[in-house]
A = this chain, B = another copy of it.
């Protein structure tokens, strides 16, 4: 089941760079682990913004929440989430 998740990140301006880098590193590992599992199906950068557009493939709303709320950057994120489903005009078999 697919969800579009748009994440916009706003780190506190007084956060030390080292702290920020450490969180970002954990975020990257976590994101790549989920992509390897096929959960985080697409991950694109929005050009010109500290934001991404992602497509998640999960089995339930609960799984979506577990995944997103465990993002190291979660406390600094604004999320916009939409449930997706197959479009009648889609020719792609795996775009469930």
Contact mask A34-59 → B, CB, 8 Å, 1/0? 01100000111111111011010000
CB neighbours (8 Å) of A13 from chain B are 12, 15, 75-76
Note all chain B residues with C-beta closer than 8 A to A61.
1-3, 47, 83-85
Say whether, besides A36-B91, A43-B89, A53 and B82 are in contact (CB < 8 Å).
yes
Most interface-central of A35, A50, A65, A81 (chain B CB within 10 A): A65
CB closest chain-B residue, reference A3? B83
Other-chain residue from B28, B46, B75, B86 in contact with A82 (beta carbon distance below 8 A): B46
Q: List 6 A-B contacts (CB under 8 A).
A: A3-B48, A28-B89, A42-B95, A44-B84, A45-B65, A65-B85
